[in-house]
Amino acid sequence: MGDFEAIGKQFVQFYYSTFDTNRSALSSLYRDESMLTFETDKIAGVAAIVEKLTNLPFQKVEHKTDSVDAQPADAEGGILVLVTGALLTEGQERPMSFVQTFHLKQAGGSYFVFNDIFRLVYPAA
Amino acid sequence: MGDFEAIGKQFVQFYYSTFDTNRSALSSLYRDESMLTFETDKIAGVAAIVEKLTNLPFQKVEHKTDSVDAQPADAEGGILVLVTGALLTEGQERPMSFVQTFHLKQAGGSYFVFNDIFRLVYPAA
């Protein structure tokens, strides 16, 4: 397993455990140049991204990942990650499928989220 | 709409119409440095990628996209695209949900697929 795969999986595990337990701490993973597409909303910059994520219309959420795939995205250590999974929010009886792709960039020896695109997936037909 | 969104959507339309009508012509979209993760298979380079795609166990396939989101991926004109949709292969009665993320890089005034990750998505729970 390449380093990028181990780093991608570690990142994903940390991301969703932080999302599900202490959402405002996701601020450590974004920067001013970060972009988030959350369904049809487009948000830029760590402050606006964390405001969006902390104000989603549910307090409790649980993410479960089904697949995590990673590839090297550039010559500077960037990593592209695609996640498929399911999430369950408070008050809902059934989980919803989601997909999320992250483009992690390296800066100063650590990684931050440069690109982040999230979509719910509805059953085909 | 930013250029990256128009280019992302044009690319996606071209990609799946080529996939569904003349799969071997996808070779024009990949290069030797391209990577494909197709479910659990990891493939590198245009020749191996096109061999994989043309030897999938179906002759006819029809892709339908539900969402196409794009973001600028780097300072050199790269574009990250996330697609959700459904595909129907010959002999199957029901479409399957899929997700695919592309990292398009610019070279010599045109784009090629640097990263490509494809996953089928199964209904949650």
Residue-range domains of chain B with CATH: 3-121 (3.10.450.50)
Q: Each residue of A70-114: pLDDT tens digit?
A: 999 998 899 999 999 999 999 898 999 999 999 999 998 899 999
- Residue B35: list chain A partners with CB under 8 A: 71-72
- Indicate the DSSP class of residue A124: P
Interface contact A119-B82, CB threshold 8 A: yes
Task: Give Rg (Cα) of chain B.
Answer: 14
Nearest to B71 among A67, A117, A122 (CB): A117
By C-alpha distance, the chain B residue nearest A88 is B124
From the list B86, B113, B87, B116, the residue with the least C-alpha distance to B101 is: B116
Q: At which residue do the structure tokens 């990577």 appear? A: B35
Beta strand segments in B1-124, E? 30-38, 41-44, 61-72, 79-89, 96-107, 110-121
DSSP state of B51: H
Helices assigned H by DSSP within A22-111: 46-54
Residues of chain B positioned with their CB less than 8 A from the CB of A96: 124
With beta carbons under 8 A apart, name residues in chain A contacting B122: 66, 97
- The answer to whether the CB of B67 falls within 8 A of the CB of B74 is no
Find the mean pLDDT for residues A60-74: 97
Residue pointed to by tokens 């500077």:
A76
In chain B, residues with a C-beta closer than 8 Å to the C-beta of A37 are 69, 71, 82
| pLDDT for the residue A1 | 46
B69:A117 CB<8 A: yes
pLDDT value of residue A91: 85
Q: What is the pLDDT of residues B37-77, one digit of tens each?
A: 999 999 999 999 999 999 999 999 999 999 999 999 998 89
In A, what residues contact B, Cβ < 8 A?
35, 37, 66-67, 69, 71-74, 80, 82, 84, 86, 94-97, 99, 101, 103, 114-115, 117, 119, 121-125
Tell whether the model's pLDDT for residue B2 goes beyond 70.
no
Task: Say yes or no to pLDDT of B83 above 60.
Answer: yes
